[in-house]
Amino acid sequence: MADFDAIVVGSGMSGGMSAKELTERGLKVLVLERGPQIIPERDYTDQLAPWETPNLDNVPQDEISQHYPKQYGGVAYAIKQSTKHFWVKDDEHPYAEAEGTSYDWLRGYHTAGRSIMWSRQTYRLGPQDFTANQSEGIAVDWPVRYEDIEPWYEQVETFAGVAGSEEGLEQLPDSVFQPAFTLTDAEIAFKQRVETRFNGRRVIPARIAHLTDATEEQRSLGRSNCQARNRCHHGCSFKAYFSSLNATLPAAQRTGNLTIIHNAIVQGLDFDPQTSRISGVRVVDAQTREHRTWTSRIVFLNASAIASAMILLQSRSETFPNGLANRSDQVGRNLMDHVSSSGVAGILNGFEHKTTFGRRPSGGIYIPRYANITENDKPYKRGFGFQGGARPLGNAGGQIAGIGREFKEAHRRPGPWRINVLAFGEQLPDPENRVTLHPTKRDRWDNPLALFNVSYGDNEHIMQQEAVQDAVAMFEAAGCQNITVSEADLSKPGNRIHEMGTARMGRDPETSVLNGWCQAHDVPNLFITDGAFMTSSACQNPSLTYMAFSARAADYAAGLLAAGEL
Amino acid sequence: MNTGRTRREFIQGLIISVGGAVTLTACGDGETTSEDATITATPTGNDGRFYLASEMALLSRLSDLIIPRTETPGALDANVPGYLDGLMADWASEVTRQAQHQTMQDLAARLNSAVDNFLEVDNQLALSALTELDSNAFNGDDSLSGYRTLKGYITQAFFATEEGALQELKWVAVPGRWDPSVDIVAAD
């Protein structure tokens, strides 16, 4: 008899949702988390005042060089002395990059994974995203359509809580919303001017996973409305933003069906050729280095697109000499992220007599994709959405002229309003963009290091050049002054922290790893519902989609178990 | 949403929202001038953990001139020099530390060439010398990049202290709501 009905590998965004959905259907579930336990009362630091975090909350420079060169280089804004425990130390968790390439693998190992540190932008994919591969003859067709996932979006959004506004856009379907964080006056002016000048472009409030009108269900989990502190990268004691730790794991816990084991690094999945099923999940304890094997009737991989692919590649057998469920040779390939380039900023005059109250968390405005939707003259495929916002420039950290009373009191005044945007673009799937097992290098637990070989193609380069030009044109139309374009090439692959595509869905087992239910074509009791299943990346932030597919797959898997088909 | 409050009312509103736990020194009726309020740096004469005694004296004078005591505490009240001494000792790399020593040395030379003994001259002369240097620093003189960095440290440190954050900047721990449009009437 198996130890559990289901094992979920990973407790982050998708793992938490898988665990919730499976436990609520009566399954006994074991969640294996490779990192230590996060206890909010002990580990969240959101209640610290500025004067309670010495040295401007900066991590010592030598410590960054020694432990966080990759992580800090990628997300300096989030790695503070009081939050560094949410991020891995690069020297303890190294990886390798193919010569001439560079990759940002930015992550944290602990309860709830990156769902603690995410930026909470939350958007549905649209109907066009599920048909683009087919219509353009790129990669393989998604085996599902928007209508298949729509009810699961609704279910997840209702549970998680998404602040946003109904806009009726076909390419960016509305979610189940709680009240949006209203636009500032400068943002409203920008919206009006841009929408007047560019027919088909819209400027809308960012959609973010924060509670603004908590439901009974959300309150029953100890969650309450966002307090507008913008301390989210420190955790949230109000549980106002969605994370596994704030929502799905407590929901799973209260069923009485959940067991979580921390410091459990999965090294491989045992395959039984007689049954064509996974027969065991091999684990090493990160601290004691003891090995053991757990068994279950089904396995959900939710370790992240990269880590789940690594687990499959490490799970070799006579049946699958290139890695479990890898008959198609697609495991680890088609690694995608979203791509950005230069940020564009400008001053919107006329709002100097305005300020705001409260600190809005995450985004302000979002400009949904219009390229190849309402404008079809583009020299590239797919498109991008802009994220940004407008706020008073404020004191600029002391980098203004003047001394004495006038300088001191200048910091009270909001000053001119600055608006900025950054494009998040779709990356096309390319089988040569991949993660593999390093042939010789291993980590301290004797697991092969990840070896990345990822670069952008012409489409990403052309798209981002055009995106910057588009942004400048919109800023000019809006009457912005002092428009600046930051010096930047394309963002480093991985830097948007939206990795996906390494075990793609498809209709044909010869060219894809998973079927339309996120179930491995060749291993019926294996489901993968982190970003690995994504057949294309779209341009929307993907966490909501991972969770919707997790809920859908969990329902399907539980149904198969109940029917005796697994 | 558009309440039409004055800035003073706005600030008072912020403080009320944190439960009135803060002394409202910024909104008191007593008005003093910057010159009256500025206090003289009183270096201890001792080395800090990072800064030499002479550097601490210069840092104290700079901090006091840049962010003086007014109706609210100034940089010296908030012990900004001590804060920066800890920053350099505990956060900075060797490269940053060397750059900081160089900045202090350069600033001492420049200011002492502008006035005779910058640490000892009266506030008006010191203010005049530093104002000219500051103006050059923010008008394209790249040789003063170290000063710009130091001014950033002083300012950020001040607003990160309890005195600077609460009494001057009116930082609110838990705003509790988001209001995107608050009018500031320039009545005060």
Q: Which of A47, A187, A405 sits opposite B70 (nearest CB)?
A: A405
Exposed e or buried b per residue across B131-156, where buried means at least 16 C-beta atoms within 10 angstroms of its C-beta: bebbeebeeeeeebebbbbbbebbbb
CA B68 to each of CA A93, A352, B71, B72: distance values in angstroms, whole numbers, following the listed order: 47, 26, 10, 9
Predicted confidence at residue A214, as pLDDT, reads 98
Domain that holds residue A36: 1-42+94-161+242-318+438-454+497-566
Q: Which of A354, A407, A411 sits opposite B184 (nearest CB)?
A: A354
- Burial class for A273, CB neighbours closer than 10 Å (0-12, 13-18, 19+): exposed
Q: Which of B96, B155, B184 sits opposite A61 (nearest CB)?
A: B96
Examine residue A35 and state whether it is found in any structural domain, yes or no.
Answer: yes
Mean pLDDT, residues B9-28 taken together: 28
Judged by DSSP in three states, A104 sits in coil
Count of domains for chain B: 1
Percent of chain A with pLDDT over 90: 96
Cβ of A228 within 8 Å of Cβ of B178? The answer is yes
Examine residue A9 and state whether it is found in any structural domain, yes or no.
Answer: yes
Helix (H) or strand (E) holding A423: strand A417-425
Output the domain CATH number for residue A517: 3.50.50.60
Q: Are A284 and A290 in contact (CB under 8 A)?
A: yes
Lowest mean pLDDT among A52-56, A274-278, B9-13, B125-129: B9-13
Residues 6+ apart with CB under 8 A from A86: A108, A110, A116, A117, A233, A235
Amino acid, single-letter form, for residue A129:
D
Separation CA A169–CA A164 (nearest Å): 13
Predicted confidence at residue A406, as pLDDT, reads 93
Separation CA B14–CA B170 (nearest Å): 7
Chain A residues with CB under 8 Å of B86 CB are 54-55
Examine residue B39 and state whether it is found in any structural domain, yes or no.
Answer: no
Cβ of A353 within 8 Å of Cβ of B168? The answer is no
Name the residue of chain B whose CA is nearest to A404's CA.
B66
Chain A residues with CB under 8 Å of B183 CB are 353-354
Examine residue B16 and state whether it is found in any structural domain, yes or no.
Answer: no
The encoded tokens of residue A99 equal 């010569």
Å from B54 to nearest chain A CA?
22
Cβ of B134 within 8 Å of Cβ of A402? The answer is yes
In the predicted structure, residue B38 carries a pLDDT above the cut 60: no
Predicted confidence at residue A42, as pLDDT, reads 97
Cβ of B92 within 8 Å of Cβ of A61? The answer is yes
Residues 97-126, chain B, touching A (beta carbon < 8 A): none
In the predicted structure, residue B117 carries a pLDDT above the cut 80: yes
Model pLDDT for residues A221-256, shown as the tens digit of each residue? 999 999 999 999 999 999 999 999 999 999 999 999
Percent of chain B with pLDDT over 90: 72
In the predicted structure, residue A44 carries a pLDDT above the cut 90: yes
Q: Are A104 and A494 in contact (CB under 8 A)?
A: yes
In the predicted structure, residue A376 carries a pLDDT above the cut 60: yes
Examine residue B179 and state whether it is found in any structural domain, yes or no.
Answer: no
Model pLDDT for residues B39-91, shown as the tens digit of each residue? 434 455 789 999 999 999 999 999 999 999 999 999 999 999 999 999 999 99
Å from B184 to nearest chain A CA?
5
Measured in whole angstroms, the distance separating CA A326 from the mean position of its chain's CA atoms is 25
Å from B143 to nearest chain A CA?
16
Q: Are A361 and A234 in contact (CB under 8 A)?
A: no
The dihedral sign for the CA sequence B146, B149, B151, B154: negative
Q: Where are the beta strands (DSSP E) in A455-520?
A: 481-485
Cβ of B182 within 8 Å of Cβ of A357? The answer is yes
Examine residue B111 and state whether it is found in any structural domain, yes or no.
Answer: yes
Name the residue of chain A whose CA is nearest to B129's CA.
A403
Mean pLDDT, residues A441-455 taken together: 98
Residues 124-183, chain B, touching A (beta carbon < 8 A): 127, 130-131, 134-135, 137-139, 148, 151-157, 159-162, 165, 168-171, 173-183
Cβ of B160 within 8 Å of Cβ of A50? The answer is yes
Predicted confidence at residue A413, as pLDDT, reads 85
Predicted confidence at residue A398, as pLDDT, reads 85
Q: Which of A55, A412, A414 sits opposite B91 (nearest CB)?
A: A55
Which string of DSSP letters, residue by residue, matches A5-42? Answer: EEEEE--SHHHHHHHHHHHHTT--EEEE-SSPPP-HHH
Examine residue B3 and state whether it is found in any structural domain, yes or no.
Answer: no
Model pLDDT for residues A109-137, shown as the tens digit of each residue? 999 999 999 999 999 999 999 999 999 99
The encoded tokens of residue B163 equal 């005195």
Cβ of B178 within 8 Å of Cβ of A55? The answer is no
Which of A62, A357, A409, A412 to substitute to test the interface with B, most B CBs within 10 Å? A357
Chain A residues with CB under 8 Å of B181 CB are 182, 184-185, 354, 356
Which of A190, A405, A409, A417 to substitute to test the interface with B, most B CBs within 10 Å? A405
Cβ of B65 within 8 Å of Cβ of A405? The answer is no
Average pLDDT for chain B: 81
DSSP conformation class of A245:
I
Examine residue B4 and state whether it is found in any structural domain, yes or no.
Answer: no
Percent of chain A with pLDDT over 70: 100
Neighbours of B21 (CB within 10 A): 8
Name the residue of chain B whose CA is nearest to A51's CA.
B161
Predicted confidence at residue A397, as pLDDT, reads 79
Cβ of B160 within 8 Å of Cβ of A56? The answer is yes
Predicted confidence at residue A384, as pLDDT, reads 98
Separation CA A80–CA A45 (nearest Å): 11
Residues 9-28, chain B, touching A (beta carbon < 8 A): 10-11, 14
Percent of chain B with pLDDT over 70: 75
Cβ of B181 within 8 Å of Cβ of A356? The answer is yes
In the predicted structure, residue B7 carries a pLDDT above the cut 50: no
Examine residue B130 and state whether it is found in any structural domain, yes or no.
Answer: yes
CA B8 to each of CA A334, A408, B14, B170, B187: distance values in angstroms, whole numbers, following the listed order: 57, 16, 10, 11, 8
Å from B168 to nearest chain A CA?
8
Give the β-pairing of A204-205 and A96-97: unpaired
Examine residue A349 and state whether it is found in any structural domain, yes or no.
Answer: no
Predicted confidence at residue B17, as pLDDT, reads 28
Predicted confidence at residue B30, as pLDDT, reads 32
Exposed e or buried b per residue across A291-301, where buried means at least 16 C-beta atoms within 10 angstroms of its C-beta: eeebbbbbbbb
Cβ of B182 within 8 Å of Cβ of A408? The answer is no
Name the residue of chain B whose CA is nearest to A47's CA.
B173
Count of domains for chain A: 1
Predicted confidence at residue A395, as pLDDT, reads 66
Model pLDDT for residues A134-187, shown as the tens digit of each residue? 999 999 999 999 999 999 999 999 999 999 999 999 999 999 999 999 999 999
Neighbours of B113 (CB within 10 A): 10
Examine residue A376 and state whether it is found in any structural domain, yes or no.
Answer: no
Predicted confidence at residue B33, as pLDDT, reads 35
Q: Where are the beta strands (DSSP E) in A368-416?
A: 384-392
Predicted confidence at residue B29, as pLDDT, reads 31
Predicted confidence at residue A396, as pLDDT, reads 66
Separation CA A189–CA A480 (nearest Å): 11
Examine residue A361 and state whether it is found in any structural domain, yes or no.
Answer: no
Residue A54, by phi and psi: left (phi above 0), alpha (psi -120 to 50) or beta? Answer: beta
Separation CA A421–CA A221 (nearest Å): 35
Q: Which of A58, A401, A413 sits opposite B91 (nearest CB)?
A: A58
- Burial class for B120, CB neighbours closer than 10 Å (0-12, 13-18, 19+): exposed
In the predicted structure, residue B5 carries a pLDDT above the cut 60: no
Separation CA B137–CA A104 (nearest Å): 36
In the predicted structure, residue B14 carries a pLDDT above the cut 80: no
Regarding predicted confidence, which is higher, B23 or A345?
A345
Predicted confidence at residue B186, as pLDDT, reads 57
Å from A234 to nearest chain B CA?
14
Model pLDDT for residues A457-515, shown as the tens digit of each residue? 999 999 999 999 999 999 999 999 999 999 878 999 999 999 999 999 999 999 999 99
Model pLDDT for residues A517-562, shown as the tens digit of each residue? 999 999 999 999 999 999 999 999 999 999 999 999 999 999 999 9
DSSP conformation class of A246:
I
Chain A residues with CB under 8 Å of B135 CB are 401
Q: What pLDDT band is residue B35 in, cutting at 50, 70 and 90? A: very low
Examine residue B146 and state whether it is found in any structural domain, yes or no.
Answer: yes
Name the residue of chain B whose CA is nearest to A401's CA.
B138
Q: Which of A47, A184, A397 sits opposite B181 (nearest CB)?
A: A184
CB pairs under 8 A between A and B: 155
Domain that holds residue B78: 51-168
Mean pLDDT, residues A422-439 taken together: 98
Judged by DSSP in three states, A255 sits in coil
Separation CA B159–CA A220 (nearest Å): 38
